[in-house]
Amino acid sequence: MTDDKKHYVLQAEAGSYRLTGGIGNLIANTALIATESLRSPTTETIIVPSRGLPIGGVPGPHGPSGDMMHWRTRDSAYDPAKDPGAIVVPSKFKWVLIIVSAITIFAGVAEIVMASMWGTPTGLQQEVFSAMDFVWKAGFGALVGLLGGKAS
């Protein structure tokens, strides 16, 4: 187990993953999933709201034994992914979230740029504008669905 002052990276037989705490709030867990996706897209993250780890994963006095590091390392059979209420965020999900976010942001910025450049668009320019409008709206809906589905 290594400590980067914010999270614990556990080396398990199945591989390595980041363990962090969360709270039972849907919006807070959604923000935590998005943050973890940007912070470490190549590593699986497990968010355990019910174990007393604070947001950020730093052990504190409200942990089960007061010292999360010893509590985690003593129980060699403990698997946080099987904890009721745990949110497992695999690296593939993180990459999908990043790619959908990038496409959505690109389409939204492109639409703003096109709207500022084209005062009276031609028919073809209007079609391109409409396509960018559809992409950013669909991307925003996909982001809400991805994050809402994972956080609940």
pLDDT band at 25 (very low <50, low <70, confident <90, very high): confident
Encode pLDDT of 59-79 as tens digits: 444 444 333 433 344 445 566
Domain ranges within the chain, ordered by starting residue: 2-89, 94-151
Whether pTM > 0.75 for this model: the answer is no
Gyration radius of the chain's alpha carbons: 20
Which is more confidently placed, 24 or 41?
Answer: 41
Q: Are 150 and 89 in contact (CB under 8 A)?
A: yes
Encode pLDDT of 111-147 as tens digits: 999 999 988 889 999 999 999 999 999 999 999 999 8
Q: Which amino acid is at 35?
A: T
pLDDT band at 87 (very low <50, low <70, confident <90, very high): confident
Contacts of 29 (CB under 8 A, 6+ apart): 22, 23, 47, 49, 87, 151
- pLDDT at residue number 56: 47
Gap between the Cα atoms of 96 and 70, Å rounded: 35
Q: In terms of Cα–Cα distance, which of 138, 44, 46 is closest to 92?
A: 44
